[in-house]
Structure 1
């Protein structure tokens, strides 16, 4: 699969479907499947030390907002690995400052065969401390 949009298929059918639906939203296609795009369990392909992302979001009574992104990014030749990126905006009903529990940005990246790594402050918090702990 040489097309960047198709590389998300390597992660499984759910990330691939999420990437396509997110593209439909950004391109303002008619009636994209927002229910699938905002279903927490569809993000369980992202694993953290505390558990699967969708399960952690359920535990934190989170709702996914917009934007949602599941992308494959081609890095320049001098960088070894290309990267998969998952970006979400979430509202969670957990203890903590509202500036990151409401409209919080979750950003995870995966380089080559490595594990998913949290990149945003809120992603690092969820990956380190399960919601409610």
Structure 2
């Protein structure tokens, strides 16, 4: 591949790049499109699509072991698969988790929420508020 056609001039690090913060600014978006084209030109080859499909199959598999975090009597999990592109935050108890088909209580379905809000939302984790002694976890 002739890389000279896709190479960019060196970045002048003394120049302010504040103009890139305008996420809806057409000048910034055009710059991003050009950078994406350079990256795609470097990465996309004959094997790229096949590799991407294999990775997606693994990510969408339903037989993954759900990793959990224990808080109080519940085991919490964030799950993403082919049916839940944005994912669900859910919980179950120990007995159910140990079974071959756990019963999950969905706390937030981000795909449904995104449809209702007409905007994608992404889970970045949660902290549960530590309850008082002998009290259950109630707030996140």
Shorter-normalised TM-score: what interval?
under 0.3
- Relative to the length of structure 1, the TM-score reads 0.26
Which structure carries more relative contact order (alpha carbon 8 Å, separation 6+)?
Answer: 1
**Structure with a larger share of its residues in strand:** 1
Larger radius of gyration: 2
